[in-house]
Chains A and B, each alone.
Chain A
Amino acid sequence: GQQLNQSPQSMFIQEGEDVSMNCTSSSIFNTWLWYKQDPGEGPVLLIALYKAGELTSNGRLTAQFGITRKDSFLNISASIPSDVGIYFCAGFDNYGQNFVFGPGTRLSVLP
């Protein structure tokens, strides 16, 4: 079945730095979603993208739906300690039938 790849798998950054992570697929997706999961909690939806090329912001977060429809990136600007967590990309395939999760990017923010 379809799989999503996320990179990097994990990252350590200094507080205040900007962060970029991406998600790629071997097949076309028609929706991209980015989630953040804190320890012991369920994933929380951060941003939803519906059209190729779409660029959407949510506070310090910005995500883009790649033109090829096979990738998406998430940027976090001016990171803060509460940004720590696992960031998952997810999406519906081109037929809208299968919802797929990426393996996640684990973010650590150092003070």
Chain B
Amino acid sequence: SAVISQKPSRDICQRGTSLTIQCQVDSQVTMMFWYRQQPGQSLTLIATANQGSEATYESGFVIDKFPISRPNLTFSTLTVSNMSPEDSSIYLCSVIDRGREQFFGPGTRLTVL
């Protein structure tokens, strides 16, 4: 299965600043996904990032707030822009491997003061 790493693992940020989260996969994958998990909640898909095209955002998420890059088949970044305390969450990247199995990174725990 794909092995996924994320940086940073956690951060504490000030309101109004931005944070870029990196996701690295040990194999080439077509589809990468970014999820948000608010405290005590399930996972909510933010966007799908495919290499060579713009990310596709789910309802309630916009590119200005969560810009995504996908420069190659093993790497993606998610930026959380102009942060507010409501953005405090765990942000997870994931990939589809072996056709229909989705694997997750360890997550980035973001706290916004």
B105 partner residues in chain A, CB cutoff 8 A: 42
B94 partner residues in chain A, CB cutoff 8 A: 42
Given A42-B107, A48-B100, decide whether A88 and B43 contact each other with a Cβ distance below 8 A: yes
A43 — nearest CB in chain B belongs to which residue? B104
B63 an interface residue at 8 Å Cβ cutoff? no
Question: Do the beta carbons of B42 and A42 come within 8 Å of each other?
Answer: no
Question: Do the beta carbons of B43 and A43 come within 8 Å of each other?
Answer: yes
6 closest A-B pairs by beta carbon, nearest first, are: A42-B104, A42-B107, A31-B100, A101-B43, A42-B106, A103-B42
B107 partner residues in chain A, CB cutoff 8 A: 40-42
Binding site for A on B (CB under 8 A): 1, 4, 33, 41-43, 45, 92, 94, 100-107, 109
- State the main secondary structure of chain A at its contact with B: strand
Question: Do the beta carbons of B92 and A99 come within 8 Å of each other?
Answer: no
A40 partner residues in chain B, CB cutoff 8 A: 107, 109
A31 CA to B96 CA in the complex, in Å?
13
Question: Do the beta carbons of B104 and A92 come within 8 Å of each other?
Answer: no
A21 an interface residue at 8 Å Cβ cutoff? no
B102's partner among A90, A96, A102, A104 (CB-CB below 8 A) is: A90
A96 CA to B4 CA in the complex, in Å?
23
A41 CA to B101 CA in the complex, in Å?
18
Q: List 18 A-B contacts (CB under 8 A).
A: A35-B104, A41-B106, A42-B94, A42-B104, A42-B105, A42-B106, A43-B43, A43-B104, A44-B104, A45-B102, A45-B103, A88-B43, A92-B100, A99-B33, A99-B102, A101-B43, A103-B41, A104-B42
